[in-house]
Amino acid sequence: MHKNIIIAGVGGQGILTIASIIDLAAMNLGLNVKQAEVHGMSQRGGAVESHLRISSEEIFSDLIPLGKADLILSIEPMEALRYLSFLSPTGVIVTATEPYKNIPDYPDEEKLMETIRESTVYLPVEAGSLAKKAGSPKTFNVVMLGAASPYLGIKAKELEKAIGLFFERKGEEIIDMNIKAFRLGKEYASE
């Protein structure tokens, strides 16, 4: 098993939460994990990316080379474009459709999604409505994790177990809400 995953978005969208949950699930399975993240100029609103490498073999670098990412999981559509050069020819993009407009000249949304659509196999996710259905807009990132789960090489039950561990200190209600968000995202991906 070997997966190279780039998780992209802007500060405050829970990119590092997603990476941590995947890390926990992989480590619980005895897999090797390397992770590196880059934060933008400001923590909230700046570009954030996480390189996540998971393998049953030893991993020597935490950074994914150009053209080697199996998955780009983007919590913000414009950020998906930023990392296209990392995507392998057989790679997949899972991206939220809702933009985070933190710059005055944000590109036209329709053209943005068209560029992604023309680039590779992709799954656009309307994560905002699914997060509300789960019980909180704050579960947006976990909805996206659920939508990307078929491409991670880790069984859903292992990811749900990791969600429970990650949110354990916040109580059962938060765990249940995030597992519901994960399942809604997973169901969306399978439709």
| Tens-place pLDDT, residues 60-114 | 988 999 999 999 999 988 888 889 999 999 999 999 998 887 778 888 888 878 8
DSSP the chain: -EEEEEEEEETTS-HHHHHHHHHHHHHHTT-EEEEEEEE-SSTTTSEEEEEEEEESS----SSPPTT-EEEEEESSHHHHHHTGGGEEEEEEEEEESS----STTPPPHHHHHHHHHHHSEEEEE-HHHHHHHHT-GGGHHHHHHHHHGGGTSS-HHHHHHHHHHHTGGG-HHHHHHHHHHHHHHHHHHH-
Amino acid symbol at 117: R
Distance CA 17, CA 19 (A): 5
Q: Compute the distance between CA of residue 31 and CA of residue 2 in angstroms, rounded to an integer.
A: 9
CB 50 within 8 A of CB 64: no
**CATH classification of the domain holding 17:** 3.40.920.10
What's the pLDDT at 47? 75
Q: What pLDDT digit, counting tens, does each position of 148-172 carry?
A: 999 999 999 999 999 999 999 999 9
Domain count of the fold of the chain: 1
CA 151 to CA 73: how far, in whole Å?
A: 10
Give dist(CA 5, CA 35) in Å, integer.
10
Structure confidence by residue, pLDDT tens digits, 3-55: 999 999 887 688 889 999 999 999 999 999 999 877 554 456 677 888 999 99
Q: And the tokens for 122? A: 């992709």
As a whole number of angstroms, the distance between CA 134 and CA 8 comes to 22
Find the domain containing 183 and state its range: 2-190
